[in-house]
């Protein structure tokens, strides 16, 4: 299956669109192998699914990035649950910084057992 270019996606927010433009530059420069918008739906509970905004393919790993202009409790619960259920992937919350084009990244990981 050939990936749909990020430029042809219908984004739900201006933040998603701006972040997709940055990801597209990373694909063109070779930093990323591929970036797809809302490409994968994850099951995170009984009859509960979550579709992260972006699925990124790096040469050595896969990541899910979720963009948020502001944090919502339900979004935080979903990204934390996904990180717990799928520890072999990297989950990153991408928030808008104070300046246009500035991003704040927070990684969510599975809880480590002590």
pLDDT tens digits along 58-106: 999 999 999 998 888 888 999 999 999 999 999 999 999 887 778 999 9
Q: What's the structural domain count of the chain?
A: 1
Nearest to 67 by CA among 84, 80, 79, 49: 79
- Domain of residue 77, residue span: 9-16+60-88+95-109
| Assigned token pair, 16 | 């998603």
| Domain assignment present for 104 | yes
| Residue 4, number of CB atoms within 10 A of its CB | 11
| Domain assignment present for 31 | no
| Domain assignment present for 80 | yes
Tell the residue number behind the tokens 């927070």, with chain if given.
106
| Domain assignment present for 32 | no
| Domain assignment present for 99 | yes
Query: Is the model more confident about 63 or about 7?
Result: 63
Q: List, for residues 47-58, the tens digit of each pLDDT value.
A: 999 999 999 999
**d(C-alpha 16, C-alpha 43), whole Å:** 22
SS3 state at 3:
coil
| Domain assignment present for 64 | yes
**d(C-alpha 31, C-alpha 18), whole Å:** 18
- List, as one string, the DSSP characters of 65-110: EEEESS--HHHHHHHHHHHHH-TTSEEEEEEE-SSTT-EEEEEE-P
């Amino acid at each position: 299956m050939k990936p749909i270019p990020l430029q042809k996606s219908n984004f739900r927010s201006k933040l998603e669109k701006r972040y997709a433009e940055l990801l597209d530059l990373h694909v063109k420069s070779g930093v990323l192998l591929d970036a797809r918008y809302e490409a994968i739906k994850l099951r995170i509970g009984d009859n509960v699914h979550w579709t992260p905004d972006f699925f990124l393919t790096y040469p050595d790993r896969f990541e899910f990035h979720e963009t948020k202009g502001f944090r919502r409790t339900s979004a935080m619960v979903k990204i934390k649950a996904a990180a717990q259920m799928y520890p072999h992937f990297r989950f990153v919350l991408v928030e808008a910084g104070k300046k246009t084009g500035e991003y704040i990244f927070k990684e969510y990981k599975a809880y480590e057992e002590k």
